[in-house]
Structure 1
Amino acid sequence: MEDLGELVVVTGMTGAGRSTAAKELEDLGFFVVDNLPSELVTEVVRLVDEKKGRAQPIAVVVDVRGGINFEALREDLAQHLPTRRSSMLFLEADDDILVRRQEAARRPHPLQDGGRLLDGIHREREVMTQLRGDADVVIDTTPLNVHQLKDKVAAAYGKPEAVGLKVNVVSFGFKYGVPVDADLLADMRFLPNPFWVPELKDLTGQDPRVATFVKDRDDARSFLERYLPVIETVGHGYLREGKRFMTVAIGCTGGKHRSVAMSEEIAARLRARGVDAEATHRDLGRE
């Protein structure tokens, strides 16, 4: 059976990093087409199949500049590309960050329509709301620099031949806000806080002493035994629906002790069950 390349539709908010993501995908071997009307995606796939072969992975960047009919795009992908693996990458960022980036670029927003820059951003969010909910991968670029964004894209698409579920277990601190790209979220503030133990306060959840303190108790073990099947159940459903990426957010107060230790443990247990899982720590080092 012929090995078919992946199709990635890159979209999201203007100023959120679509061009950077597209460049990284190109470096990963994707054939990239930017600023493509959504109605032409299937035609591009047909041409690439003829010129470069069906094993060539493809990435297309579609946005409000080309006129968006994403419902028709989804239907076209399902009808005309039933065998080629496809996913949608959505990039977003907070309004103030988007304003700052657009002002630095000295370019008007495509939906600004003579009004304020922020008005254009709000209109774009309204247009993109349904799409963001349907996206397979959502990356919030608010706290990311260019290199960090490239790393996240590479982590998601660096092995395009993989067809299993990829799980990112990300620790965070509630004091810094909940990750907007979380598919599942769990709160570790029900566990005793190592912050109040003098010999553990300055350590992190990656230290074995903190990890033992957090995990070596009945309520933590009970949580892990009950939560892992939830992740697996949702993951199986995602794969059935064609969604291959999952972000599991594990929070505590500051994102330093409990969430870090539990994220590492969850990722390790998932790997032991054959799932492609990694732990990342959004807020580690901020305190």
Structure 2
Amino acid sequence: MGLQDSILPADDPSAIHLVVLTGMSGGGKTIALRALEDLEFYCVDNLPSALLSELVDAATRDNHRRRIAVGVDVRNRDEDFQHMPKVLSTLAATVHVHLIFLDCNDAVLIKRYSETRRRHPLAMRNLSLADAIAEERRLLRPLMAIAERVIDSSDLNVHQLRRLIATGYAQTTSGLTLMFQSFAFRRGLPLDSDFVFDARCLPNPHWEPTLRPLSGKDGPVRDFLDQQPMVGEYLADTTRWLDAWLPRFEADDRSYVTLSIGCTGGRHRSVYLVEKLAAHYRPSRESVLTFHRELE
């Protein structure tokens, strides 16, 4: 598969996919890399181009890993960007290479840096933020020109970008990809939901002073909810429903389903249920993702 080919599932289940994420600093590369990590890609950030071939060889030895994602940005040396097209071209002869460029307009980048108070990677060159962004565009232009896909994140929030990446590259896995996400009703429904479940009827750990600062990932909260019969009924009913209907979505060629579970604050009950459901389905499904909106 060449660098310009579309993102399609490989006919050969042993095919190797290499996703190279690059683009503007502040454009969402870290978010995209985490989304791929949720898809069980082996992820490495800020890898020099000279080491790409060695990484692929090491990761795929004995067919150990078939999906690899690498982040490349301006923290690398300038010459890395000159060598990258040749390195990717060589790798494309043996693996499926996907070069993704995350772009963002300058005004939004400046706003994001202002809000986070982070320093641009090129700030050490004594450049203003606007000049650093312009220099970064110049350095990355050769990679943008050969990118399989350019994603403009200017108008995307964190959740939209994660879903965009996950839905695009879930296709490199087999079967239906499940996304379980938790949220707080008081902050509104996740717009990317296929199904929404309401957990506000369940006993709330928030009212236990020792549990309030914790989340549904923490042992004391899990123990508390494990002991509630109503929570067990809720999980059993939800699992039965999914077991009955997920095969029908797969038969309809659906590749991605997002199931959102909400509670009042999005920290305890919904997080617990998402983790429980994900743990239940991971042994039988290749791609099961979790996302906790209020914990991110």
TM-score by length of 2: 0.51
- 1:1-287 aligned at under 5 Å gives the runs 3-50=14-61, 53=63, 55-68=65-78, 69-112=80-123, 113-161=125-173
Structure 2: gaps spanning 5 or more residues:
1-11, 175-253, 255-296
1:54, distance to aligned residue in structure 2 (A): 5.5
Paired-residue identity, % = 38
1:129, distance to aligned residue in structure 2 (A): 1.8
Letter of the 1:140 partner, please give it.
Answer: D
Q: Distance in 1 between matches of 2:64 and 2:97?
A: 13
Quickly say closer, same or farther: Cα 1:125–1:142, change in 2 above 3 A. same
Q: Kindly indicate whether the alpha-carbon contact (under 8 Å) linking 2:27 and 2:153 is maintained by their aligned counterparts in 1.
A: yes
Q: 1:83 aligns to what SS in structure 2?
A: coil
Letter of the 1:60 partner, please give it.
Answer: V
Q: Deviations over 1:127-186 (max 9, x none)?
A: 112221210011100000000001111122111158xxxxxxxxxxxxxxxxxxxxxxxx
Q: Kindly indicate whether the alpha-carbon contact (under 8 Å) linking 2:104 and 2:152 is maintained by their aligned counterparts in 1.
A: yes
Q: Kindly indicate whether the alpha-carbon contact (under 8 Å) linking 2:41 and 2:67 is maintained by their aligned counterparts in 1.
A: yes
Q: Distance in 2 between matches of 1:130 and 1:60?
A: 17
Q: 1:142 aligns to what SS in structure 2?
A: coil
Q: Distance in 1 between matches of 2:133 and 2:121?
A: 9
* Pairwise CA RMSD: 2.3
Greater relative contact order (Cα 8 A, min sep 6): structure 1 or 2?
Answer: 2
Structure 1: gaps spanning 5 or more residues:
163-275, 277-287
TM-score by length of 1: 0.53
Q: Which runs of 4+ in 1 moved over 4 A?
A: none
Q: Distance in 2 between matches of 1:126 and 1:84?
A: 28
Q: 1:158 aligns to what SS in structure 2?
A: helix
Q: Distance in 1 between matches of 2:134 and 2:74?
A: 13
Q: Distance in 1 between matches of 2:99 and 2:64?
A: 19
Q: How many residues align?
A: 163
Quickly say closer, same or farther: Cα 1:115–1:81, change in 2 above 3 A. closer
Q: Deviations over 1:16-40 (max 9, x none)?
A: 0000000000011100001111221
